[in-house]
Structure formats: C-alpha cells, structure tokens
Amino acid sequence: MEHSIALVTGTTSGLGYAAARTLAGEGWREIIVTGRSLARTQETAAQLAAETKAQVFTPLELDLNSPASVESALAELVKRGRPIDFLLLNAGMVPGKERVITAAGVEASQAPLIGHHQLTVGLLRANLLSPNARIVIAGAEPARGGVPMFRYTDVPAFAAKNYRGDQTAAVEALIRNGPNVKYVPNNAYADAKLTVAWWVAALARRLPSGMAVYAVSPGAATATKVSRQAGLAVKYLFIPIANLIPGMNQTPETAARRYLQASEFGTDVSGQFFASAQGKFSGPIEVQRHPHLHDHASQEAAWQAVVKVSGVDLS
C-alpha cells in the first residue's frame, strides 16, 4: 500500500487525532481529517500542522449521524477525484446513562457504523479507494466477550424468541434500540461493536481483490473524550481500576498505533477482528477466534440490517 492519501474519521480529538498525527510522522502525503463541524475540523488541521511541521492535513466536514452530511462529503471527495489508500473509520460513541436516538432513528452507539457504511460504500461506488486500499474500523474488546460489566446479545437466541428466527430483523432492532430491546448502556456498546465485527467480515467478502478490511480494538485508552462521556459504572469504576492496574491502560498514541499496524496487514486476514489477548486490554493484538464472531449467518444478517437502516447497498 502506498503512503499517499489517508482519510481518518473523528479526528478532532482522542484516537483519531493521535492517528492523524502519527500518520504525518510516517510520511503520508495527504491526511484528510474529518469532524462534525468544518470550523472545528479546520482548527484541528491547523493544530496538527503546527505540531508536526507538516502541511499535509486537509479538513473535511463529516457528520456520520447525518446521511446528508455524508453525501456532501462524498461529493467533495468525488470532486477531488484522488483515490484513498488508507480509510480509518475511527469515530465512535460510548453510550451514556440516558438512551439517545439519532434523527435517523438509530441508537447513538450504533450510529457511527451506519455513517461509516454509507461513506465506505460511497467511496467504493465512486472508485475512490485505491486497488490495494486498506480499511480499518474501530472495534472494541467487549465484542469478544469476557469483559466485566459488558455483555453482548445472543442474536440467534434473541431472533428465535422475538423475530421467528429472522436475525436481520433482530440486528436491526438492536441498531434502532427498538421493540424487545432493553436499553443498558454497556450492553448497547457491546452490541454495537459486535455488529461492527460482523459487518467487517461481510464487507471483506464483497471487496474487490487486493483491498482488505479489518476491525481493530484500540484497547483501553481512558484519556479520551469518548471515555469521559461513558456511563457512571465505566467512568467511576472501570476506568479507575484500569488506571491502577499496570499494563491495563495505554495512551491514545499507543492505542492509535494498533490501527496503523493493521493497515499493513495482508488480504489473507481481511474481514478479521483484532483485539487484545483474552483477559487483557492493551499489548499486542491478535485475531479473535471466538465462534460467535465467525458465525456466517450473523455476519450476513448484520450486513443486511445495516443496508436496511442506511438505505445503501454495495451491488
């Protein structure tokens, strides 16, 4: 993969900011930085340029909660006409105590995936990903299971109980936090990241030869805006514990390097979910082998649910 053009979502703070700064240090020719506000994104680009002494940052307004904003960003990228080599889908949301539903009818922690799907499919349709492009999307440790205070939904069982076995309808219900879904912030987050892992596997089967996609958990990095917006249990119990145990937490820069490490992986592991070893939240990443992550029916159900919610499919 050429170190030519990278696009990073959610760049105005946290892991996205750290990733963009690191990419500049690795010699990328252009780094498109995005955020919900154009003014804030322009400030971010200027700040990154000042810190890195590199005039390689291009601001782009992109609100993943707004289909119109994603379409506008795509139109701008089409106008530029330069293919992207590395697409880092970093933007995410940790849900809070109160349930938040976007204007599009999507639960807040699930919403970034819907916007990222629309963006990725739009770039593929417009032939704006280079032939050997790498796509990395932010995953999270709770998707693998075994993380205290987080529990993902058993989708096949949930579908059998409430949707006559229709897993697509079940995943859509989780995305919308609709009927039969009780809102529990940490569980909603685990479900959102499990949907991401499944979506990646389904996307990998649809990508042209040469391209690859991976879900990557950055691991524990509590010094970010997203962590500060988390629910009370995470903010006042999980994060303090993580800060006390050596090796359980890491800086945003170290966490962001996991994304960049995955950008160099080959097509043989496209569609895989990379996270810490079981029981850890930092350190080396590895392919997650848990059976629920590799269930083909769940992967395709997640893809179809995202297509239905977003109204965008990849022919």
CB atoms within 10 A of CB 146: 11
Give how many domains the chain has, as a whole number.
1
pLDDT tens, position by position, 234-259: 544 555 555 444 445 689 999 999 99
In a domain, 275, yes or no: yes
Q: Is the dihedral of CA 45, 46, 51, 53 positive or negative?
A: positive
Decide if 251 is inside a domain. yes
Does the residue 315 lie in any domain? no
For the whole model, what pTM was predicted?
A: 0.91
Q: Which range marks the domain in which residue 9 is found?
A: 5-310
Question: What are the tens digits of pLDDT across the range 45-76?
Answer: 999 999 999 999 999 999 999 999 999 999 99
CA distance 191 to 295: 15
Residue 209: inside a domain:
yes
The CA distance from 132 to 122, in Å, is 17
Q: How confident is the model at residue 228 (pLDDT cuts 50, 70, 90)?
A: very low
Q: Is residue 122 part of a domain?
A: yes
pLDDT in tens, 255-301: 999 999 999 999 999 999 999 998 888 889 999 999 999 999 999 99
Does 91 reside within a domain? Answer: yes
Query: With pLDDT > 90 as the criterion, what percentage of the chain qualifies?
Result: 85
Tell me, what CATH number does 168's domain have? Answer: 3.40.50.720
